[in-house]
Homo-oligomer: A and B are copies of this chain.
Amino acid sequence: MRIKGTFLDEISHDIPHQNWGRNEWDKDFGSMKAVGINTVIMIRCGYKRWITFPSRVLSAEESAHIPAEDLVKMFLELSEKHGMAFYFGLYDSGKYWINGDYEKEVELNKRVIDEVWQLYGHMPAFKGWYLSQECSRKTGQIIDLYASLGRYCKEVSGGLPTMISPYIDGIKNISQYTSDTVRATGVSLKKHEDDWSEIFEGIKDAVDIVAFQDGHVDIDELTDFLKINKALADKFGLECWTNSETFDRDMPIKFLPIKWEKLRLKLEMAEKAGIENGITFEFSHFMSPQSAYLQAGHLYNRYSEYINDHKV
């Protein structure tokens, strides 16, 4: 069980920005590569008015602020340089689908997909798509949204793979703007299985990879959820990866790097559930030797020792 991919958290909802330039990113991709990461997933190309590339569509439709740097271009170039696969995360309006207008979210994103593919589709590191609208249950028309956007991405790009990373509606599924870290009850295994069975049925030809976040349930329950996720994905023909979070949801400071022992335990649980690929949210803040959180560099060292001690 190895971490093969990481999100790039631009634009971030809730993790303070590190203000890196190209040199820092270049160095970070090198650090990723050194511990076996070969895939980077830009979590979203934009959120509300903040965007990662000079999008005419989002500038015109959403009055988005044109950024000083084209991060998509930079990430693609650095991915090529370091031999990484780049997944492009779709736009999250933060409003249309939240307020029930899934069609508008889909229509807008189709125009973004067209624009992006025209701008960057020729770049060799462009290897897949990430559907950035996260959910934990079958809410609203989330199935239609995933199915429409997944199919459109594949159609435009000649069948490049698509990925989602849902969360589990567990006891730690609480707002990061609340001082609590847990709540009384989470979703049951049965309800989780029922919901996701229905979702997978509806998206199976549009989404290739599902990587559930592993931080919203009590660690004692995690194995059971991982096994359900794996069994369901197998049943419907999706690849099941784990998104092993490298930040700690159990601490008053939201959020700093996770304790290595917790991460190790989660990775070993995923392995026991038969899962072979892991991604993480995310390397650059929580696991990087150059993170502003120095705990992250030590986590990197512990993880490096671990994979050296457990060579396959």
Contact = CB atoms under 8 A, between A and B. Distances in A.
Interface string A287-312: 00001111100110110011000000
Interface string A210-240: 0000000000100000000000000000000
Count this chain's copies in the assembly: 3
A254 interface: yes
A158 interface: no
Given A68-B264, A265-B65, A302 B180 contact: no
A118 interface: no
B19 A298 contact: yes
A15 interface: yes
A188 interface: no
Nearest to A300: B19
Nearest to A293: B292
Interface in A155-202: 176-181
For the complex, would chain A's binding face be called helix, strand, loop or mixed by DSSP majority? loop
A67 interface: yes
A261 B65 contact: yes
Contacts of A102: none
Interface stretch (A34-42, A137-145, A146-154, A245-253): A245-253
Nearest to A290: B294
Contacts of A252: 14, 176-177, 254-255
A65 B269 CA distance: 12
A305 B258 contact: no
A278 interface: no
Interface in A95-143: none
Contact of A67 (B19, B24, B261): B261
A253 B254 contact: yes
Interface in A260-300: 260-261, 264-265, 291-295, 298-299
Nearest to A258: B17
Contacts of A19: 257, 259-260, 295, 298-299, 301-302
Interface of A: 12, 14-21, 24, 49-50, 65, 67-68, 176-181, 220, 248, 251-261, 264-265, 291-295, 298-299, 301-302, 305-306
